[in-house]
Amino acid sequence: SICYFIVLMSSLLFYNWATHRIERGAKDNNHLLYKPYSNAIIAKEPTSLEEEINEIRRRGSNRDLDSASEFEMSDIFYFCRRGVESIMDDEVTKRFSAEELESWNLLTRSNYNFQHISLRLTVLWGLGVVIRYGFLLPLRVTLAFTGVGLLVVLTSIIGFLPNGRMKNFLSEQVHLMCYRICVRALTAIITYHDSENKPKNGGICVANHTSPIDVIILASDGCYAMVGQIHGGLMGVIQKSMVKACPHIWFERSEVKDRHLVAKRLSDHVEDTTKLPILIFPEGTCINNTSVMMFKKGSFEIGSTVYPVAIKYDPRFGDAFWNSSQFGMVNYLLRMMSSWAIVCSVWYLPPMTREEGEDAVKFASRVKAAIARQGGLVDLLWDGGLKRGKVKDTFKEEQQKLYSKMLVGTQEDRSRS
């Protein structure tokens, strides 16, 4: 713990000093370090559809919506521009890439507006590479193999014991010990808030999803029954050993698509109050630590008590987001272990249940909003499946309806006057 504290404090001092140097250099060179109104690719002021079209019309025909409410050819430039902006910098796609930092964290030079970094900062970065790859990485890999090896061996041994309190007790202690060793392998500094709201047996724990390590972040503070698809290889060996000691819920690939079978397995589990709470990530994919996307309604149809959990990582010490389209699991874990540290906060929110007359979709949205509010995340309505899918036609039609209502509304205002 003392080593972790020293690493964190030293890194934080370096980050602040490096950021100050970068900002001063940008100011001296008359460069704009941070763009106004946006931290994204395109800088734009928040304006309405009517205001922007009025501006386009004034520049072209010197007429605005009040004087001419009919369609004008120049109006298409608004939609063309917005279409290009959406392609270049839409609010969905950028949730599936690493968030841009406003400070340099000695891992990468993440200030894309910065033009020059001094020799001293470059030397510090080189020293950081030596420390992270020469000292921290070998130590962490050793801890990771130790934790996973102990989990496989000890859970397999516990599996031979008869079901009962002793088996459950030993299983929980082994899982906690092994998960905490794996947390040390990432140099994870975790702050848990409101522990009195921790999930209890017979309930479902739902959390926002940033990384596969969300599982060990939560499981190092309490035991859960995991839900997932059966894998092969090393992951399959781990799953088989874990289910011998604890009633986790693993599905075959063909069973995952059967919603009724999944719901039945989950319902049977939560009805038994002697079994551990189920841990589920309803987004279904990893989001980059800035937002929460739509929760799938399946886990909210069961009718059990839901225990929301908000997880927020500090990106200054290491980026926990897993971009599965860019990095494989092994590559991702190596990047995590070669970071300075993984610092995060976990908030246990009060338990929530479905209200009278509330359907599963509304319940899921209410839980998601509570998680986003507590974690300081952006609450988005978009489905995380858009990471690999297409936008529905209904979303495209909304802009058409908005434009037509604007013209019709202007015509009605003119007729009244």
Q: What is the pLDDT of residues 99-131, one digit of tens each?
A: 666 666 677 654 445 455 677 777 877 888 888
Say how many domains are in the chain.
2
Domain-located, residue 403: no
Give the residue-averaged pLDDT of 50-56. 67
Q: What pLDDT does 388 receive?
A: 64
Contacts of 393 (CB under 8 A, 6+ apart): none
333 pLDDT above the threshold of 50: yes
CA gap 209, 221 in Å, rounded: 17
Alpha carbon distances (Å) from 316 to 212, 269, 344: 19, 39, 11
Query: Do 128 and 88 share a structural domain?
Result: no
Q: What pLDDT does 56 receive?
A: 67
41 pLDDT above the threshold of 50: no
Q: Sorting pLDDT into bands at 50, 70 and 90, what band is 31?
A: very low
Which domain covers residue 279, as residue numbers? 119-382
Q: What is the percentage of the chain residues whose pLDDT exceeds 90? A: 15
365 pLDDT above the threshold of 60: yes
Domain-located, residue 112: no
Q: Sorting pLDDT into bands at 50, 70 and 90, what band is 415?
A: low
Domain-located, residue 39: yes
10 pLDDT above the threshold of 70: no
Domain-located, residue 109: no
Query: Do 131 and 57 share a structural domain?
Result: no
Query: Do 323 and 240 share a structural domain?
Result: yes
Query: Do 123 and 92 share a structural domain?
Result: no
Query: Do 165 and 58 share a structural domain?
Result: no
Query: Do 299 and 153 share a structural domain?
Result: yes
Domain-located, residue 389: no
Domain-located, residue 123: yes
Domain-located, residue 412: no
Domain limit, last residue, from 96, 130, 152? 96
Query: Do 124 and 77 share a structural domain?
Result: no
Q: What pLDDT does 150 receive?
A: 92
Q: What pLDDT does 67 receive?
A: 46
Mean per-residue pLDDT over the chain, rounded? 76
307 pLDDT above the threshold of 90: yes
Query: Do 125 and 89 share a structural domain?
Result: no
Q: What pLDDT does 230 receive?
A: 75
**What are 209-224's pLDDT values in tens digits?**
998 889 999 999 988 9
Query: Do 174 and 275 share a structural domain?
Result: yes
366-394 per-residue burial string, b: 16 or more CB within 10 A, e: under 16: bbbebbbebbebeebebbbebbeeeeeee
Query: Do 130 and 25 share a structural domain?
Result: no
Token pair of 40, please? 């994204």
pLDDT top residue among 166 and 412 = 166
Q: Sorting pLDDT into bands at 50, 70 and 90, what band is 193?
A: very high
Q: What pLDDT does 38 receive?
A: 41
Using alpha carbons only, how large is the chain's radius of gyration in Å? 26
35 pLDDT above the threshold of 50: no
207 pLDDT above the threshold of 90: yes
CA gap 95, 378 in Å, rounded: 10
Q: What pLDDT does 322 receive?
A: 85
Give the residue-averaged pLDDT of 388-412. 66
Query: Do 170 and 64 share a structural domain?
Result: no
33-56 per-residue burial string, b: 16 or more CB within 10 A, e: under 16: beeeeeeeeeeeeeeeebebbbeb
Domain-located, residue 196: yes
- At 247, the amino acid letter reads P
288-322 per-residue burial string, b: 16 or more CB within 10 A, e: under 16: bbbbbbbbbbbbbbbebbbbbbbbbbbbbbbbbbb
Give the residue-averaged pLDDT of 372-387. 82
Q: Sorting pLDDT into bands at 50, 70 and 90, what band is 205?
A: very high
**What are 68-89's pLDDT values in tens digits?**
456 666 666 677 766 666 666 6
Which residue in 97, 98, 101, 94 sits closest to 22, CA to CA?
A: 101
Contacts of 200 (CB under 8 A, 6+ apart): 277, 305, 307
SS (H, E, C) the chain: CHHHHHHHHHHHHHHHHHHHHHHHHHHHCCCCCCCCCCCCCCCCCCCCHHHHHHHHHHHHCCCCCCCCCCCCHHHHHHHHHHHHHHHHHCCCHHHHCCCCCCCCCCCCCCCCCCCCCCHHHHHHHHHHHHHHHHHHHHHHHHHHHHHHHHHHHHHHHHCCCCCCHHHHHHHHHHHHHHHHHHHHHCCEEEEEECHHHCCCCCCEEEECCCCCCHHHHHHCCCCCEEEEECCCHHHHHHHHHHHHHCCCEEECHHHHCCHHHHHHHHHHHHHCCCCCCEEECCCCCCCCCCEECCCCCHHHCCCCCEEEEEEEEECCCCCCCCCCCCCCHHHHHHHHHCCCCEEEEEEECCCECCCCCCCHHHHHHHHHHHHHHHHCCEECCCCHHHHCCCCCHHHHHHHHHHHHHHHHHHHHHHHHC
